[in-house]
């Protein structure tokens, strides 16, 4: 029976606050400061969960975030780790992964069948006959998995912060605290973190009853908490080590992304289980787990105990148990008393029998430990003929340690097996990474303090660039604290190496015999170390087993890669606050006020059309007609807008775009087509010349950032004297298009708009409505048009004036949809829609934009020179037959020629100006250059004929955009 003890000197409980909660329908009461598991144990509930595969009864083992068989389910979260999750009032918990209830788990039957389920059994069966596998799979999936998700759970997010420090010390035990102090004394800005809610580490549970430790504890805690150079962060987990000492710290309020200049890992060691039959019964615990229970939570771990040990820690644990009122029946020492020094004498004084060179052969009990069977042990094998039994409800295992070296491994450190300590120890650490304490083989308190001091000094010297000879091994113990083979075989098995995954000794041995005799292969085949604790108490014994089976050393056997996270980290903390940058143009409020339907265009919002959703088609028609017959105004502020300045500006643009830009005349613009090295079209826009050494470049909305990056990169790569200013956000732009454009602008601007002064493709600066503007004569939509570029804060004023003054010409705002129709009537392409990831300018019918002969070099030219000869497809215009009224083809429907794919429609729309459906299609050769009808396959599978035709569909001579029709007329 477990029960609550009287107050312990260092307990974490706040006994003034009781907390009631429910578990499996039963009512319990604990204290503030309890973990879920400790509160249950305090009430005598030792069965906390069921194992993953066989549904065996499991209890508390470590109380250190490794108890993955004591997982709980609430109505808010799955897989709650009871051993470390603070008890909250009102919790309603059930066990995780049980079929029925924890007490009556129907899946216990699987445990009975375990002999039929050898290692990797699922690879060897269930696949015949094939048609049954989905059924088996369903069953297997349902049995696997742990907690249950409620897909109705709402989203949770926790904000993240950034942190910076000189030195991050991870682990606030004796060596970590000493290391922090030693570095802080040298003037470093130190952050000291510990995953536990209180600092102190094992000082607070393993050395509670040692007078000498009390003095050290008091000094260290006081000093680190009061040192001006140390920030202490208890309750923060170092999730992992990432490049350049970037260590996210998970705390109760979210993640601090800590960037340190150096890191000390003082993360200690993780106690490892002994492997014997039924070593998983509730009541069988790590000695350190029992010590945590007593010291932190004031829980008496049992009434009658047996301690299995291979080190002096086990003796101390036995003494701690006696102090807590536990009746210790025997200490079973796998080695000899002679190695245990003073501790042996103390036990002796208490008349506690010690059995040397014995080990536990088997534990017995149904849902709770009842009896311990011990037998002589020669360091390798157990002689069960001489077995003896002890009644006990508690069995402590103190047989060895594995370093919590995950962060060191992630940083690229190398560990090697030390046969003195029988433990893996750091051998070679990368720059800026240090290790100290038990992780580094310093076991006595004196060693740990000295090692902390050393690591702190080494880190300080490193950061200050002072010479100091590292002495990683200086303070290591000279005595083993781990047994090299804490493992005994048993004919009936159930001697677990991995509690997470329910793997028995024979499973690993058999995996190795089947050829999975590489540590990684063994892991993958047997799943050892793949459970939620990521092998924290399985990997070391797994390595020992494999080494024994293969006759290799521990170092030759190696270990599996330790990947982040250190413990599983909540998604809500990783995701952080939601941040979706959304860009709105200066005219956005106007669009909304005027009935625009907005659409996302990359990060921007743009008007799709103006009007109610149900009258979409008419609205778009209206807008198109306004542009063709009167006036239209569109917000094009989302275009990329880049100023290019400097003596080499022309050179930069010549190299970046296909056509020559350095010879553009002042006050003129030119179409700008960008291809990549392989000749594929990636962007288009215009380049205008503002001064001898100054150009203005526009890019498409979606490619604006990429174009800026490309230009920036070219400046560096080509060593040019050019500066770029990205004005996409600071300048608004609108396109005024329609036959009356000039008439509207004339009275509002000081720029001479006459055809002579300001021809098609011209660019002029001046004022419009009193605002400084840049006007560009453009023709994308095929009418007389001016793009007006102006400061964002003046955009609304100018827009309003144009709308008011334009009323007499029937001006309308138009959106992206109308623009798509208008440009299609002109046969202009949209990069990314009419082109794809392989389209070159020849295929897009723009050979005129590729001056192979006259321009010595530009990006993509070598490719285009080759591609010109082998144009395999080309963009063609088409119309649906006059009067066609069947099923409409859609963009990306395929052209079919003789039963084969012969291209696809890239754009299609109804043209109000022509009164017909028109479109562009990327057509394969030879169909592209034939005059045959195309056929497109529509959704129903029917083939619809398309009449090929030349583009532009509308105003082929381009009269309307170059000439002011109102003046001609």
Partner 1 sequence: MPWRLLKYGLKSSHDEPRFFPESRPLKSHYDVVIIGGGGHGMACAYYLAKEHGITNVAVLEQGYIGGGNTGRNTTIVRSNYLTPEGVKFYDTSLKLFEDLSDDFDLNIFYSTRGHFTLAHTDSALRTMRWRAEVNKHHGIDSEVVDRDFIAKEVPYMDLDCAGHSPVMGALYHAPGAVARHDAVAWGYARGAYNRGVEIHQRTRVTGIRTQGDKVTGVETDRGFVSCNKVVSMVAGSTPRITSMLGLDTPIEIFPLQACVSEPVKPFMDTIVVSGSLHVYVSQSSRGEMVMGASVDPSVLHSTRSSFDFVEGLTDKMIDLFPFMSRMKVMRQWAGMSDITPDFAPIMGKTPIEGFYLDAGWGTWGFKATPVSGKTMAWTLANDRNHELIEPFRLSRFTDFDLVGEKGAASVGH
Considering only residues 649 to 678 of the shown chain, the ones binding partner 1 according to CB under 8 A are 678
Closest distance between partner 1 and the C-beta of residue 544, in Å? 19
| CB-CB contact of 141 with 185 (8 Å) | no
Closest distance between partner 1 and the C-beta of residue 76, in Å? 7
Nearer to partner 1, 117 or 214 (CB): 117
Closest distance between partner 1 and the C-beta of residue 46, in Å? 24
**Which residue from 273, 679, 762, 912 is in contact with partner 1, where contact means CB under 8 A?**
679
Kindly state the tokens that stand for 111.
Answer: 């445990």
Closest distance between partner 1 and the C-beta of residue 433, in Å? 14
Closest distance between partner 1 and the C-beta of residue 397, in Å? 26
The answer to whether residue 30 forms part of the interface with partner 1 (CB under 8 A) is no
**Which residue from 582, 593, 614, 756 is in contact with partner 1, where contact means CB under 8 A?**
582
Kindly state the tokens that stand for 191.
Answer: 């952050």
The answer to whether residue 956 forms part of the interface with partner 1 (CB under 8 A) is no
Helix (H, G, I), strand (E, B) or coil at 743: helix
The answer to whether residue 580 forms part of the interface with partner 1 (CB under 8 A) is yes
| Burial group, residue 1, by CB count within 10 angstroms (0-12, 13-18, 19+) | middle
Whether the ω angle into residue 952 lies within 30 degrees of 0, i.e. cis, is: yes
Return the beta strands (E) in 590-668 as ranges: 596-601, 604-610, 631-635, 640-645
- Write the interaction track for partner 1 spanning residues 803-832; mark x where CB under 8 A is met and - where it is not: -----------------------------x
Nearer to partner 1, 15 or 563 (CB): 563
The residues, ordered by sequence, that sit 6+ positions from 693 with a Cβ below 8 Å of its Cβ are 645, 646, 647, 649, 650
The answer to whether residue 848 forms part of the interface with partner 1 (CB under 8 A) is no
Nearest to 316 by CA among 298, 303, 304, 328: 328
The answer to whether residue 244 forms part of the interface with partner 1 (CB under 8 A) is no
Touching partner 1, residues 904-943 (CB under 8 A): 904, 937
Helix (H, G, I), strand (E, B) or coil at 182: helix
**Which residue from 17, 121, 215, 967 is in contact with partner 1, where contact means CB under 8 A?**
121
**Which residue from 124, 366, 385, 853 is in contact with partner 1, where contact means CB under 8 A?**
124
Cα 452 from Cα 179, distance rounded (Å): 4
Cα 100 from Cα 617, distance rounded (Å): 59
Nearer to partner 1, 487 or 776 (CB): 487
The answer to whether residue 152 forms part of the interface with partner 1 (CB under 8 A) is yes
Closest distance between partner 1 and the C-beta of residue 40, in Å? 21
Cα 640 from Cα 654, distance rounded (Å): 19
**Which residue from 450, 621, 894, 963 is in contact with partner 1, where contact means CB under 8 A?**
894
**Which residue from 1, 32, 145, 851 is in contact with partner 1, where contact means CB under 8 A?**
145
**Which residue from 16, 27, 151, 469 is in contact with partner 1, where contact means CB under 8 A?**
151
Nearest to 46 by CA among 82, 9, 100, 98: 82
Nearer to partner 1, 134 or 467 (CB): 134
Number of C-beta neighbours around residue 197 at 10 A? 15
* Only segment of 127-135, 178-186, 781-789, 875-883 that touches partner 1 (CB under 8 A): 127-135
**Which residue from 3, 198, 209, 510 is in contact with partner 1, where contact means CB under 8 A?**
510
Nearest to 437 by CA among 232, 168, 174: 174
Return the beta strands (E) in 614-680 as ranges: 631-635, 640-645, 669-675
The answer to whether residue 574 forms part of the interface with partner 1 (CB under 8 A) is yes
CA-based torsion, 591, 593, 597, 603: positive or negative:
positive
Phi-psi region of 534 (alpha: psi -120 to 50; beta: other; left: phi over 0): left
**Which residue from 128, 351, 385, 853 is in contact with partner 1, where contact means CB under 8 A?**
128
Q: How many residues does the chain have?
A: 969
What is the helix (H) or strand (E) element at residue 512, kind and residue range? helix 505-513
- Residues linked to residue 788 through DSSP beta bridges, in sequence order: 734, 775
The answer to whether residue 325 forms part of the interface with partner 1 (CB under 8 A) is no
Helix (H, G, I), strand (E, B) or coil at 717: helix
- Residues linked to residue 76 through DSSP beta bridges, in sequence order: none
The answer to whether residue 578 forms part of the interface with partner 1 (CB under 8 A) is yes
Closest distance between partner 1 and the C-beta of residue 538, in Å? 15
Touching partner 1, residues 357-416 (CB under 8 A): 410
* Only segment of 156-164, 185-193, 639-647, 749-757 that touches partner 1 (CB under 8 A): 156-164
Nearest to 250 by CA among 242, 261, 258, 262: 258
Cα 217 from Cα 198, distance rounded (Å): 13
**Which residue from 352, 538, 867, 946 is in contact with partner 1, where contact means CB under 8 A?**
867
The answer to whether residue 157 forms part of the interface with partner 1 (CB under 8 A) is yes
Helix (H, G, I), strand (E, B) or coil at 777: strand
**Which residue from 563, 612, 709, 723 is in contact with partner 1, where contact means CB under 8 A?**
563
Kindly state the tokens that stand for 490.
Answer: 């048993």
The answer to whether residue 576 forms part of the interface with partner 1 (CB under 8 A) is yes
Nearer to partner 1, 568 or 810 (CB): 568
**Which residue from 235, 432, 493, 564 is in contact with partner 1, where contact means CB under 8 A?**
564
The answer to whether residue 464 forms part of the interface with partner 1 (CB under 8 A) is no
| CB-CB contact of 775 with 786 (8 Å) | yes
The answer to whether residue 26 forms part of the interface with partner 1 (CB under 8 A) is no
Closest distance between partner 1 and the C-beta of residue 833, in Å? 6
Going by the DSSP 8-state scheme, the letter that residue 104 receives in this structure is: T
Closest distance between partner 1 and the C-beta of residue 42, in Å? 27
**Which residue from 140, 215, 474, 914 is in contact with partner 1, where contact means CB under 8 A?**
140
CA distances in angstroms from 845 to 699, 735, 920, listed in the order given: 20, 26, 11
The answer to whether residue 716 forms part of the interface with partner 1 (CB under 8 A) is no
The answer to whether residue 903 forms part of the interface with partner 1 (CB under 8 A) is no
Nearer to partner 1, 405 or 734 (CB): 405
DSSP β-ladder status, 894-897 and 900-911 = antiparallel
Touching partner 1, residues 590-619 (CB under 8 A): 600
DSSP β-ladder status, 394-398 and 388-391 = unpaired
Cα 453 from Cα 969, distance rounded (Å): 93
Cα 502 from Cα 641, distance rounded (Å): 62
Nearer to partner 1, 245 or 743 (CB): 245
**Which residue from 568, 667, 766, 810 is in contact with partner 1, where contact means CB under 8 A?**
568
Total site size for partner 1, rule CB under 8 A: 100
The half-sphere exposure of 636 on its side-chain side, counting CA atoms within 13 A, is: 27
The answer to whether residue 253 forms part of the interface with partner 1 (CB under 8 A) is no
Nearer to partner 1, 605 or 775 (CB): 605
- Write the interaction track for partner 1 spanning residues 75-114; mark x where CB under 8 A is met and - where it is not: -xxxx-----------------x---------------x-
The answer to whether residue 430 forms part of the interface with partner 1 (CB under 8 A) is no
* Only segment of 225-233, 322-330, 376-384, 515-523 that touches partner 1 (CB under 8 A): 515-523
Cα 248 from Cα 251, distance rounded (Å): 10
The half-sphere exposure of 608 on its side-chain side, counting CA atoms within 13 A, is: 11
Closest distance between partner 1 and the C-beta of residue 209, in Å? 36
**Which residue from 89, 100, 135, 156 is in contact with partner 1, where contact means CB under 8 A?**
156
The answer to whether residue 520 forms part of the interface with partner 1 (CB under 8 A) is yes
The answer to whether residue 521 forms part of the interface with partner 1 (CB under 8 A) is yes
Residue 916 φ/ψ, nearest 5 degrees: -145, 165
The answer to whether residue 709 forms part of the interface with partner 1 (CB under 8 A) is no
Cα 624 from Cα 782, distance rounded (Å): 11
Q: At what angle do helices 174-185 and 445-464 cross, to 10 degrees?
A: 40
Q: Which residue has the tokens 């050179």?
A: 651
The answer to whether residue 513 forms part of the interface with partner 1 (CB under 8 A) is yes
């Amino acid at each position: 029976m477990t029960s609550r003890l009287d107050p312990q000197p260092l307990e974490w409980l706040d006994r003034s606050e009781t907390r009631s909660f429910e578990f499996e329908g039963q009512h319990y009461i604990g204290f503030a400061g309890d973990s879920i598991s400790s509160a249950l144990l305090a009430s005598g509930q030792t069965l906390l969960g069921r194992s993953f595969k066989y549904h065996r009864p499991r209890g508390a083992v470590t109380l250190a975030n490794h108890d993955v068989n004591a997982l709980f389910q609430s109505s808010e979260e799955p897989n709650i780790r009871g051993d470390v999750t603070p008890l909250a009032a009102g919790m309603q918990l059930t066990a995780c992964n049980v079929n029925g209830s924890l007490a009556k788990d129907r899946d216990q039957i699987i445990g009975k069948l375990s002999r039929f389920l050898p290692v990797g059994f699922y690879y060897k069966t269930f696949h015949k006959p094939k048609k049954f596998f989905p059924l088996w799979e369903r069953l297997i999936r349902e049995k696997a998995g742990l907690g249950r998700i409620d897909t109705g759970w709402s989203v949770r997010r926790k904000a993240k912060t950034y942190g910076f420090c000189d030195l991050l010390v991870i682990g606030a035990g004796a060596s970590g605290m000493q290391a922090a102090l030693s570095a802080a004394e040298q003037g470093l800005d130190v952050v000291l973190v510990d995953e536990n809610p209180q600092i102190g580490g094992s000082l607070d549970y393993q050395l509670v009853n040692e007078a000498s430790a009390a003095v050290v504890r008091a000094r260290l805690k006081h000093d680190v908490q009061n040192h001006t150079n140390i920030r202490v962060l208890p309750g923060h987990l170092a999730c992992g080590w990432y490049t350049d000492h970037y260590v996210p710290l998970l705390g109760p309020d979210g993640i601090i992304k800590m960037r340190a200049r150096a890191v000390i890992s003082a993360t200690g060691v993780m106690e490892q289980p002994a492997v014997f039959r039924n070593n998983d019964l509730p009541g069988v615990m790590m000695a350190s787990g029992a010590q945590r229970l007593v010291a932190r939570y004031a829980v008496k771990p049992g009434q009658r105990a047996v301690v299995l040990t291979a080190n002096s820690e086990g003796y101390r644990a036995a003494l701690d148990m006696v102090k807590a009122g536990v009746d210790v029946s025997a200490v079973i020492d796998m080695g000899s008393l002679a190695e245990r020094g003073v501790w042996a004498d103390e036990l002796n004084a208490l008349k506690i029998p010690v059995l040397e060179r014995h080990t536990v052969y088997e534990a017995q009990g149904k849902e709770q430990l009842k009896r311990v069977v011990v037998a002589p042990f020669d360091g390798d094998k157990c002689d069960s003929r001489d077995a003896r039994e002890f009644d006990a409800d508690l069995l402590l295992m103190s047989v060895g340690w594995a370093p919590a070296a995950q962060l060191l491994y992630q940083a690229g450190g190398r560990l090697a097996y030390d046969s003195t300590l029988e433990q893996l120890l750091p051998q070679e650490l990368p720059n800026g990474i240090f290790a100290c304490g038990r992780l580094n083989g310093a076991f006595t308190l004196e060693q740990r303090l000295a090692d902390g001091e050393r690591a702190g000094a080494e880190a300080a010297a490193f950061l200050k660039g002072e010479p100091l000879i590292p002495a990683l091994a200086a303070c290591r113990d000279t005595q083993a604290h781990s047994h090299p083979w804490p493992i005994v075989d048993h004919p009936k098995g159930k001697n677990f190496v991995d509690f997470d995954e329910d793997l028995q000794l024979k499973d690993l041995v058999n995996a190795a015999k089947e050829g999975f005799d590489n540590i990684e292969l063994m892991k993958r085949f047997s799943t050892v170390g793949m459970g939620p604790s990521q092998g924290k108490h399985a990997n070391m014994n797994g390595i020992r087993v494999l080494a024994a089976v293969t006759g290799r050393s521990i170092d030759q056997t190696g270990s599996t890669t330790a990947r982040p996270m250190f413990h599983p980290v909540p998604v809500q903390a990783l995701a952080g606050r939601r941040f979706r940058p959304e860009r709105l143009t200066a005219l956005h409020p106007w669009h909304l006020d005027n009935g625009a339907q907005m659409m996302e265009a990359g990060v921007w919002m743009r008007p799709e059309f103006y009007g109610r959703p149900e009258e979409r088609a008419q609205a778009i028609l209206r807008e198109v007609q306004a542009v063709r017959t009167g006036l239209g105004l569109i917000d094009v502020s989302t275009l990329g807008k880049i100023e290019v300045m400097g003596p080499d500006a022309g050179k930069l643009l010549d190299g970046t775009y296909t056509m020559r830009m350095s010879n553009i005349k002042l006050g003129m613009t030119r179409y700008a087509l960008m291809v990549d090295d392989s000749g594929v079209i990636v962007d288009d826009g215009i380049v205008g010349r503002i001064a001898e050494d100054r150009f203005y470049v526009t890019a498409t909305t979606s490619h604006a950032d990429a174009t800026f990056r490309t230009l920036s990169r070219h400046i560096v790569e080509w060593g040019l004297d050019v500066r770029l200013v990205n004005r996409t956000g600071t300048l608004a732009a609108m396109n005024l298009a329609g036959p009356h454009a000039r008439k509207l602008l004339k009275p509002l601007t000081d720029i001479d708009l006459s055809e002579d002064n300001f021809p098609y493709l011209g660019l002029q600066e001046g004022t419009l409505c009193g605002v400084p503007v840049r006007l560009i004569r453009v023709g994308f939509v095929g009418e007389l048009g001016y793009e007006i570029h102006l400061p964002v804060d003046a955009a609304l004023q100018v827009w309003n004036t144009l709308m008011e003054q334009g009323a007499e010409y029937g001006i309308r705002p138009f959106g992206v949809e109308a623009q798509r129709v208008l440009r299609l009537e002109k046969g202009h392409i949209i990069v990314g829609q009419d082109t794809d990831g392989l389209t070159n300018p020849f295929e897009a019918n723009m050979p005129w934009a590729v001056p192979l002969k006259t321009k010595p070099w530009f990006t993509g030219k070598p490719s285009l020179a080759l591609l010109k000869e082998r144009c395999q497809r080309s963009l063609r215009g088409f119309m649906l037959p006059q009067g066609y009224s069947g099923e409409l083809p859609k963009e990306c429907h395929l052209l079919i020629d003789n039963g084969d794919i012969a291209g696809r429609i890239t754009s299609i729309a109804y043209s109000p100006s022509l009164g017909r459906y028109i479109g562009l299609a990327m057509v394969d050769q030879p169909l592209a250059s034939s005059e045959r009808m195309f056929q497109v396959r529509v959704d129903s599978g029917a083939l619809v004929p398309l009449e090929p035709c030349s583009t532009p569909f509308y105003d082929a001579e381009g009269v309307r955009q170059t000439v002011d029709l109102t003046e001609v007329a």
